[in-house]
Structure 1
Amino acid sequence: MANSSNSNSTPESGISGIPDREIGSQGLRKRILRRGVSWRTPFPGDEVEVHYNGRVEGGERIGSSHDRGTPFRFKLGQREVIEGWDDGVATMKKGEKCILTIPPELGYGEAGSPPLIPPNSILIFEVELLSWNSIRDLKGDGGILKKITREGEGWATPGDADEVLAVLVVPVIYDTKLENGTSLSKSDIGVEFHINDGHICPAISHALKTMRKGEKAELSVKFHYGFGKFGNECLRVYDAIPSKSNLNIKLELVSWKRVIDVTGDGKVLKKIIKAGQGFDRPNEGATIKVVYAGKFRDGTVFCQKGTNEDPFEFVSFEEQINEGLDRAIMTMRKGEQALVTISSDFLFDHDVPQRMFEDSTCLYEVELIDFTKDKPFWKMDTLEKLNACETRKLEGNALFQAGKFCRASKKYEKERLDALKCAVKYVEFDHTFTDEDRSLANALKLSCYLNNAACKVKLGEYLDAVTLCSKVLEFDSSNVKALYRRSQSYLRTSELEKAEADIKRALTIDPTNRDVRMEYKTLKDRQKEYAKYQAGIFSTMLSKMC
């Protein structure tokens, strides 16, 4: 147990102006003699180091760490000392000195501790908290205990992909030993690995997710967290490992680099090599200046664009570079350097030789030199919004004609249309605009809906096409293109009655429209096929009944 007292101490004199405080509800009192040097206090399980002097109230000294010449160490909250010590020291800061007045219920109770401590004694301890090592039970079952031997910097810690939409690469210095002292693996210069790879043993990954940059820790690891399901394989590699051996691991987190999952499916990953400036990033339509090199995994360079003196310039989301790289660059900040890993799903045919599709992924080393953002819609006045929407519509039309329906659809997409609808509403109620301006705004909105519906039909997204056409028809019930494209969508989802109603109405409005007439013929052929199918089913049913 811990005991206390020193003839030179003056327990009765606290810091002027700081009264005794009660800790808990069982009579434990604390008077601060000297303030601590930090705001932090130890946690249960931490290994604390204290000096103390102790006595029975109105009685004899019961011990002092000063007399022994060495501080007293114990694990906080583990019942290694009396309860009053556990409760009182838990409120102290590093360097703090205080007087703890401990009632019998939190000391030695009715039994006392003869011969020094009589029954029902109140104890007086002068305690100085020198330091502590944080010890954490990382799994809650004693399987991985971590003692911090050097605090890290800042507040950030690595996290797995589920927590931060990221995979982390962690350089560490480590020394892995068995409890009997047998050394298994050691690195004094650091090694890089993905945090979820289970390098050496799964416990290292668990511990690293709790560590800060520069932190040093010692791990005490039970066998099933040390080798787990890989135990037999490890036993074959390390013949010296006895069965069910536990591990002691010294670990230092040197740094980490965050890898962003750009697309959310692991097909475009960005590892930040050098952080950029500020918080701003390019938006869609931004003019971007970059330097990049595309490489295969063996290091072979297959493309290189720009230099720091003469960077490569392009407009984001205009299909001037492959989509995966485009998306990754839009997550970067000015001056940022990154390594981007892209699967073939996002490469298409930009800068990529045939070998790329055989290797399935490639790497891009990218530096974002500078960018100029496209003016956002919310900063535009109404006429600027209308002009921007007209530009986007024309760009979408060009993509549609080139057969790039998905990209064309995005040109007509929701953000632009929402801004356009606001512009239309403003035009309608601003008397400085002419009827021609209002007509132009509404026509542009309907044109975007119709063009996007055409894209959706080509992409097989028929329900979206129906929704877009219905929006047009709410405003213009006689719009032939809307009736025609909605009929197309109904036909392809086998809603033949709805398809017939729309195409007949379109024919009534424009009986000479060639596309409408062909669609009507297609509908009639489909109805005949369906009638034959129904007749076949009916015939089969009758034959089985006879």
Structure 2
Amino acid sequence: MDHESVKQLIHVRSDQDKYVNEHGVLRGVYFTQVKDYRPNSKNLFKCRNTEQYVPFENINDDFCDCDDGTDEPSTSACPMGTFYCDTQFPKSSINSIPSGKLNDGICDCCDGSDEWLLVNNHKLQTAIMTVDEGIDITKAGDRGVLKRIIKEGEGTDTPGAGCQVTVHYTGTLLDGSKFDSSKDRNEPFEFNLGKGTVIKAWDIGVATMKKGEVCVLTCAPEYAYGAQGSPPKIPPNSTLQFEIEMINWKAEDLSPAKNKGILRHIIEQGSGSDYPNDGSQVTVELEGKYGDKVFDTRTVTFTLGEGTEHNVCEGIERALEKFLKDEKSRLIIQPKYAFKSEGNKELGVPPNTPVEYLVKLLSFEKAKESWSMDGDEKLEQAKLVKEKGTDYFKGNKYLLAIKKYKKVVSLVEDMPEDTSESEENKSQAKELLISAHLNLALVHLKASPPHHYEAKDHATKALKLDEKNVKGLFRRGQALLGIGEAERAMEDFRAIVEMEPENKAAAKQVLLCRNTLQKQKQREKQMYANMFDKFAKHDTQVEKERAEAEVDVIGEKVGEWGKGEGEWTDEQRDRKPTDFEKENPNILLLDKDGQFENM
């Protein structure tokens, strides 16, 4: 029997019934399988389970061309054909039915997708069509998350990973049954985007939303609750739909102390999964402004960690360590991480000024991580970094010098105790470590104002590795003297003189410490003398005021009734003497105010 004869014997659906949406997706095709229902370069369709190829126009024509019937996914034309329910994963005996059960008036699929023509006078096209609506926003292009915008949002900004997002949402199954809604609770939902605290589809979809936007996300099970579902409301392998309203979000805080010193608003998402690290060569587009004034527009290449050499502030460098390639973000940077109290005369930025930058990471070449280096590589890198730090120190670029010397420490600090290293490498690492700590102590002393506590700490670390190191003792002594601990400082300088009697610099510092201690004692002596004088004057004044306040106990009239202090009251006069008074008539008694009662 030829093709046309068979079609006359089998009910042929109308073009309206044979629904093909704007994406070219055919009814009865599960949306994750759409890619399998595309024509190849020869306009042929490959049967799903066999090696057969048939003309693509024969799909859903009510005639079986494939032995497995996969060219007729939504008809009952093939006796062996299988229909996959729309809300279930394909190729499961539980989630699929024989094609012969389609449109037979009985729902075999839990979502009713096998009865799209008419069931109880209610067309079920809406639920089926919704599965195929929207734009695929997955990186894999597997249509696992489809987005359909209901209401456009404001501006161009979208939230990025780390932002605290506030939304309203309503979640439904494909049959329209609602399983959750923040609106019903009248309580917006907040979560941290991109941290895996919500289903994958949300982290993907919400990141594309603008403020005020309302959209519908259709989420395949693998992007939602998977094979387990979320009983009792969400069955296993459920495709879900969420209507989401973006209320607002708080920018991601990239500052070390999380004090809003560096805020990031992602404008264009980056690509890949790698980030620049300290020492990376980066190329970025910059546009900086404060208020309405644009002060910096350029493309610049520099080594991350040395941005100040190119008028790139600390806030940008810290932020770039969180950028993916091609990411474009707006950074709001407070003075502490911008150009500080000095400002930037070259760029025209006043002191203590917050700045805003548009930054795009065009490319970067990542520096090798220390954990991936062997001992020889670490030593070689540490020597190069130390040399660079010394160059910065000689150029009075102390902050950059500090960064480099700290890098030396991080590279070799574990090597002296590493049993897997050779003795030669251990020895070199120890020397580099001592040198780096000594240099850090020196740079901190040279800074303006000096960082005495930091200098003391680094000198002490050097001395733990070499307790008789003269430079370590001298620099710690200077730091101690700077924080007012002259006695401890003198101990360090004396230790140097004992080892090197001809060390004039140390001997001079010993004298300086003695003079400082003498001055301290004089100040203390004067302070205590002033305190004693003050106390003596205070006591004299108090005594004088008390004497002036005393009354004449003989003749002064006081009291409510005009009785004198020296007069007996009627109560006293009529009081019977006590036993003590009877036995001792010549002893005068004091009253409650310390006065003689019978004066």
Structure 1 residues 158 and 342, CA gap change in structure 2 (3 angstroms): farther
2:353 pairs with 1:360: yes
Match of 1:265 in 2: 259
Partner of residue 297, structure 2? 304
Q: Secondary structure at the match of 2:284?
A: strand
Q: After superposition, what is the alpha-carbon deviation per residue over 1:98-157, rounded to whole angstroms, capped at 9, x for unaligned?
A: xxxxxxxxxxxxxxxxxxxxxxxxxxxxxxx8622733378xxx66589xxxxx992239
Check 1:352–1:270 CA distance in 2 against 1; reply closer, same or farther (3 A cut).
farther
Once the two structures are superposed, residues 517-545 of structure 1 have per-residue CA deviations (whole angstroms, 9 ceiling, x without a partner) of 34223212211111102222343455456
Distance 2:362 2:188 in 1: 45
In structure 2, do the counterparts of structure 1 residues 535 and 279 end up closer, same or farther at CA, with 3 Å as the change threshold?
same
What is the aligned counterpart of 1:333 among 324, 338, 341? 324
SS state of the match for residue 269, structure 1?
strand
Question: How many Å separate the matches in 1 of 2:314 and 2:532?
Answer: 58
Change over 3 Å in CA distance of 1:471–1:541 after alignment to 2: same
Q: Distance in 2 between matches of 1:535 and 1:352?
A: 49
Cα distance between partner residues in 2 of 1:359 and 1:275: 31
Q: How does 1:2-81 map to 2 (within 5 A)?
A: 36-37=110-111
Instruction: Sort the Cα spacing of 1:385 and 1:133 in 2 relative to 1 into closer, same or farther, 3 A.
Output: closer
For 2:446 and 2:176, locate their aligned partners in 1 and report how far apart those are by CA, in whole Å. 73
When normalised by structure 2's length, the TM-score is 0.48
Contact 1:216 1:253 in 2 (8 A): no
2:387 to 377, 391, 394: 394
Partner of 2:226: none
Q: Distance in 2 between matches of 1:173 and 1:512?
A: 78
Corresponding position of 1:345: 336
Deviation at 1:493, TM superposition (A): 2.9
Q: Which is greater in Rg?
A: 2
Question: In the alignment, is residue 466 of structure 1 matched against residue 456 of structure 2?
Answer: yes
Deviations for 1:229-249, whole angstroms, at most 9, x for unmatched residues?
A: xxxxxxxxxxxxxxxxxxxxx
Quote the offset at 1:481 in angstroms: 1.0
Gaps of 5+ in 2: 1-92, 95-106, 113-119, 122-171, 190-198, 216-240, 538-599
Q: Is the 8 A contact 1:424 1:438 kept in 2?
A: yes
Distance 1:527 1:358 in 2: 40
Equivalent residues of 2:487, 2:513 under 8 A apart: no
- Distance change (3 Å), C-alpha of 1:35 and 1:496: farther
Alignment partner, residue 282 of structure 1: 276
Whole-Å separation in 2 of the counterparts to 1:508 and 1:361: 53
Spell out, residue by residue over 1:407-436, the C-alpha distance to the aligned partner (whole angstroms, 9 max, x if none): 3223222x64243133334599526x4xxx
1:502 shift after superposition = 1.0
CA distance in 2, matches of 1:424, 1:253: 55
- Determine if contact 1:303/1:351 at 8 Å carries over to the other structure: no
Contact 2:284–2:362 (CA<8 Å) still a contact in 1? Answer: yes
CA, structure 1 residues 153+410, in 2 after alignment: closer, same or farther (shift >3 Å)?
Answer: closer
Kindly report which structure 2 residues correspond to 1:33-432, keeping only aligned pairs within 5 A, or say none: 36-37=110-111, 94=173, 131-132=177-178, 134-136=180-182, 144=187, 154-156=201-203, 170-173=210-213, 216=243, 252-253=245-246, 259-263=252-256, 264-298=258-292, 300-306=293-299, 312-318=300-306, 319=308, 320=310, 321-348=312-339, 355-357=348-350, 360-413=353-406, 416-426=408-418, 430=422
Residue type at the aligned position of 2:203? A
Structure with more contact order per residue of length (Cα contacts < 8 Å, sep ≥ 6):
1
Q: Does the C-alpha gap of structure 1 residues 532 and 344 become closer, same or farther in structure 2, counting only changes over 3 Å? A: same
CA contact (8 A) 1:344 1:356 kept: no
Is the 1:282–1:330 contact (alpha carbons within 8 Å) kept by the matching residues of 2?
yes
- Give the corresponding residue for 1:516: 506
Cα distance between partner residues in 2 of 1:374 and 1:449: 23
Name the residue aligned to 2:148.
Answer: none
Q: Report the CA distance shift for 1:401/1:524 in structure 2 as closer, same or farther (over 3 A).
A: farther
Q: 1:428 to 1:463 in 2, by over 3 A?
A: farther
Q: Secondary structure at the match of 1:357?
A: coil
Calculate the aligned-residue CA RMSD, in Å: 4.3
Q: Determine the structure 2 residue equivalent to 1:443.
A: 431
- State the alpha-carbon separation in 1 of the partners of residues 486 and 201 from structure 2: 65
Q: In structure 2, how many angstroms separate the alpha carbons of the residues matched to 1:271 and 1:130? A: 35
Would the alpha carbon gap of residues 380 and 428 (structure 1) be closer, same or farther in structure 2, given more than 3 Å must change? Answer: closer
Q: 1:153 to 1:491 in 2, by over 3 A?
A: closer
**Distance change >3 Å, CA 532–CA 153, structure 1 → 2:** closer
CA 1:338–1:344: 2 relative to 1, 3 Å: same
Q: Which runs of 5+ in 1 are unaligned?
A: 1-16, 19-32, 39-65, 68-92, 96-128, 147-151, 160-165, 175-187, 189-213, 218-251, 307-311
CA separation of 1:153/1:417 partners in 2, compared to 1, >3 Å: closer, same or farther?
closer
Equivalent residue, structure 2, for 1:481: 471
The answer on whether the counterparts of 1:484 and 1:502 sit within 8 Å (CA) in structure 2 is yes
Q: Secondary structure at the match of 1:370?
A: strand
